[in-house]
Amino acid sequence: MLDILNEISGFVWGPPTLILIVGTGLYLTFRLGFLQIKALPYALKYAFSPKRQDKESKGDISHYQALTTAMAATIGTGNIVGVATAVVAGGPGAVFWMWITALFGMATKYGEAVLAVKYRVVNSKGEMSGGPMYYLERGLNAKWLGVIFAVFGAIAAFGIGNMVQSNSVSDVLESSFSVPTWVTGIVLTILTGLVILGGIKSIGRVTAFFVPIMALFYIIGGLVIMVLNLDLIPAAIGLIFSDAFTGSAIGGGILGTVIRYGVARGVFSNEAGLGSAPIAAAAAKTDYPGRQGLVSMTQVLFDTIIVCSITGITLVMANMYSGGLDGAPLTSASFSAFLGDAGGYLVSIAIVFFAFSTLVGWSYYGEKCFGYLFKNDKAISIYRIFFVLVVFYGAIELIDVVWLMADIMNALMAIPNLIGLLGLSGVIVYETKKFMKVAKEEKEAEKAAKAKSA
């Protein structure tokens, strides 16, 4: 069974899927005129300086809470384990291709959020529901694709978003601090239940507080290493760029080892194109789809270009990636090389925080996918409770089959979502033009108000 699932996983996450994901981002980038670069300052300003529209617009949570909920799901073990795997398998140059994937992924993430808000609906509880399943049904008139996405998403949530994460936490706490797995399982189950049983507003409040702290904790640790070892940074950056264009990378063309692993881990890290993040974006209080789209695209910047870079550059500086270590042990050893035992503890604690945040974020994704399939409040409540209980099982035992099944489901989620993005690209462009006109008027009004007050 494992051999068969490994073959299937290798196939669905093979070059065709990765090309489709990156190609969609590239296509949207050109159609939107490199919006992710031109409008980035505005997007960052709006994400962290909520306007009055947040209170006046329809939605369940603020722009910022929608952003942190999505970041909670994506800033996970992939930022530590995935980057290390990419560097070991593809070389330092894989980090460069993660950056390239993120650059185009920002356009993809923008498009996903625009469509999520555009085609969202109000459920029986008065809450917003949106995401690929809704824009596939209401925008593309392909409900069957929406159903396929929802089925894969509801199942994947129990693997990648639940058992894999709780198992990562219990494993690292047992190895680093000798905490029994069953103790971790009980604590995680209780904490998860307290957060997610309260719904999206509870999740939004927790992630708004939790995500910045956990991300800063890890980023500061990495920056301390860089500041204390400034002499190693130029060589590390130079190696990342030079290795990205070596014969091994270009020799295989777009399928070269360096490119393949960089792209694959970049996608795993920020989930641009998978269709998960727009589910959170749909809950945001916003007046225009384009406004939330700009806020949502900053998620890729924080996740891959900032957090993953901390890991990648530190790994290259430590130069331990060819010594037999891989994944979390490699990242831990690299941080320890510069910070002693404190480095290993920092990575261990980061894995705990990152994994828990992913668990919370994915609980919402899975619930919304399940709610699309079964529009019944009791059934959704049962799904939430079952999700919480599975956390304990994942902490004490993780079956390899579960990991592989979830891995396959993630890829199968991406395919219908990308079809929706490409098919509705015209809608994305239209909504963008409409909002940019409004944004320009708002900017001019602000200037006029400042000039008048002066």
Residue 254 confidence class, pLDDT cut points 50, 70, 90: very low
282 Cβ contact partners less than 8 Å away, ≥ 6 residues apart: 116, 117, 120, 128, 129, 130, 131, 134
* Residue 290, in any domain of the structure: yes
Express as a percent the part of the chain with pLDDT over 90. Answer: 36
* 448 occurs within a structural domain: no
Q: Which CATH number does the domain housing residue 206 bear?
A: 1.20.1740
H helices present in 197-288, as ranges: 200-228, 233-244, 247-251, 257-270, 277-281
Distance CA 258, CA 336 (A): 26
In a domain, 441, yes or no: no
Spatial CA neighbour of 368 closest among 237, 221, 199, 142: 199
Residue 417: which domain range? Answer: 2-436
Predicted local distance difference test score (pLDDT) of residue 294? 92
Mean pLDDT, to the nearest integer, of 417-433? 96
Kindly report, residue by residue over 13-39, the tens digit of the pLDDT: 777 888 898 899 999 999 999 999 999
Instruction: Calculate mean pLDDT across residues 403-421.
Output: 84
Please report whether residue 272 resides in a domain: yes
Tell which wins on pLDDT, 345 or 10: 345
Per the structure block, which two tokens stand in for 215?
């991300």
In whole angstroms, what is the distance from residue 223 CA to residue 287 CA? 38
Residue 235 in any domain: the answer is: yes
Predicted local distance difference test score (pLDDT) of residue 252: 46
Specify the DSSP class assigned to residue 341. H
Interatomic CA distance for residues 174 and 168, integer angstroms: 10
Q: pLDDT band for position 51 (50/70/90)?
A: low
Assign 3-class secondary structure to 397-425: CCCHHHHHHHHHHHHHHHHHHHHHHHHCH
- Helices (H) and strands (E) in the chain — how many of each? 24, 2
C-alpha to C-alpha distance for 155 and 150, rounded to whole angstroms: 9
Distant-in-sequence, close-in-space partners of 103: CB < 8 Å, separation ≥ 6: 29, 36, 305
Q: Which of 34-38, 77-81, 213-217, 289-293 has the lowest mean pLDDT?
A: 77-81
pTM for the model stands at 0.88
The pLDDT of residue 265 is 77
256, 90 Cβ separation under 8 angstroms: no
Note the pLDDT tens digit of each residue in 260-300: 778 877 877 788 888 988 998 888 888 889 988 998 899 89
Tokens in use for 362?
């994915």
**Which of the four pLDDT bands, split at 50, 70 and 90, describes residue 209?**
confident
Q: Residue 251 pLDDT more than 70?
A: no
Q: Is residue 148 part of a domain?
A: yes
DSSP 8-state assignment for residue 152 = H
Low-confidence winner among 28-42, 163-177, 221-235, 440-454 (lowest mean pLDDT)? 440-454
Say which residue, 9 or 169, is predicted with more confidence.
169
355 vs 427 pLDDT, higher one: 427
What CA–CA distance (Å, rounded) separates 233 from 211?
27
Find the distance separating the first CA and the last CA of the chain, reported in whole Å.
72
Place of tokens 């910047």: 301
Structural domains of the chain, count: 1
pLDDT of residue 255: 43
Average pLDDT over residues 307-323: 91
Q: Give domain status of residue 446, yes or no.
A: no
Whether residue 453 lies inside any domain: the answer is no
Residue in the block written with tokens 């919480």: 388
64 contacts 50 by C-beta, under 8 angstroms: yes
For residue 187, give the nearest of 200, 197, 173 by alpha carbon: 173
Q: Residue written as tokens 């609980």?
A: 363
